[in-house]
Copies of this chain bind each other. A is one copy, B any other.
Amino acid sequence: MEPIADKKKAIFISTMELVRDKGFHGTPMSMVAKHAGVAAGTIYHYFESKEQLITELFDYAQQQVIAVVEQETCAAIPFKDCFFNLWGGLYTFYQNNQNLLRFFEQFVNSPYSAARPPLEEDKFYTLLFAFFERGIQEGLLKEVSPKILATLTHSSVLSMAKLTGSGRLHLDRKELEQILQLIWDGIAFDR
């Protein structure tokens, strides 16, 4: 992963912040340029179009999330521990990266994402599917499609990060553990 040229990174970050506050509409290229401290034309040196910029930014952001998943999913430690590490880690990451979270949520619900490869080819979801597959194999999780388990768990963690990130609620570590436990209780076998 070659380091991204400084200006390109500045454009990414500015776009993310502006889209968070003002949406895709409401974020003219001229504003991105000013905010990033570059000329309008410079953006077009790096990106073909606004659409391309948004799409590449999504990929850039998603790589960061994937990095968290890869770091926290370790086949060497017990699955249940791994579950808490992974989802606690993802929650914390989203919580600390509200820009990214808000940009993400706008993107995936927008028509930009409709033109993208389907879930099955998405590296992020592939990793999550494999993770839950392991839990099922080990007989720890209910026999529910990994796609469903991944969707439910991820949406739960995302919604909590949105809630606490917006300042409408505070969670301390203990409460977070409690919520993860609650999700675990839902998907775990036997009970």
Could you tell me if B23 and A111 are in contact, using CB atoms closer than 8 angstroms? yes
Query: Which residue of B109, B156, B160, B182 contacts A109 across the interface (Cβ within 8 Å)?
Result: B109
Could you tell me if B160 and A156 are in contact, using CB atoms closer than 8 angstroms? no
Interface of A is mostly: helix
Who on chain B is nearest to A50 by CB?
A: B25
* Cα distance A106–B183 in the bound complex, in angstroms: 26
Copies per assembly: 2
Tell me whether A173 is interfacial, beta carbon within 8 Å.
Answer: no
- What is the minimal beta-carbon distance from A153 to any residue of chain B, in angstroms? 9
Could you tell me if A109 and B102 are in contact, using CB atoms closer than 8 angstroms? yes
Tell me whether A82 is interfacial, beta carbon within 8 Å.
Answer: no
Enumerate chain B residues within 8 angstroms of A154, measured Cβ to Cβ.
159
Query: Which residue of B110, B160, B186 contacts A186 across the interface (Cβ within 8 Å)?
Result: B186
Contact residues of A with B, CB < 8 Å?
A: 21-26, 102, 105-106, 109-112, 118-119, 142, 144-145, 147-148, 151-152, 154-156, 158-160, 163, 168-169, 178-179, 182-187, 191
